[in-house]
Amino acid sequence: MARVRLSIATVERRVELEREITFERLPCVGELMRFAAPEIAHRAVGEVIHDENGATLLILADDLPENVCNNSYADLEKDIQDLTRSGWHVVADSNEDD
């Protein structure tokens, strides 16, 4: 099992969400992950972090334009609500101007 972190954003706001996911085989950096949730575009694994307690964090890359910027604040809010209903939880929520 690993924590998976993804970012979704508008121009003004960036939100990071996490969810624990069980894998048969832990994905490698650069490997594409596909999700059933339509709010999440397919993402490549950007970073794999193993801590001293044996926990693993996969940080999904957000370098593709469709991953970085939702159309509107309302779209972002809807995506956050849909993702939290499907087991993701918000770990960071900030304005890009901060």
Average model confidence (pLDDT) across the chain: 86
As a whole number, mean pLDDT of residues 74-88 equals: 90
The better pLDDT of the pair 32, 37 is held by 32
Instruction: Please state the domain count of the chain.
Output: 1
Could you list the residue range(s) of the whole structural domain that residue 72 is in?
A: 2-95
Question: Using CB atoms within 10 A of its CB, is residue 68 exposed (0-12), middle (13-18) or buried (19+)?
Answer: middle
Evaluate if residue 63 carries a pLDDT over 70: no
Q: Which of 30-44, 59-73, 79-93 has the highest mean pLDDT?
A: 79-93
Q: Which of 33-37, 40-44, 82-86 has the highest mean pLDDT?
A: 82-86
| Residues 83 and 40 sit within 8 Å (Cβ to Cβ) | yes
Whether the predicted model's global pTM rises above the 0.85 cut: no
Work out the angle at residue 44's Cα, subtended by the Cα atoms of residues 89 and 48, and round it to the nearest 5 degrees: 70
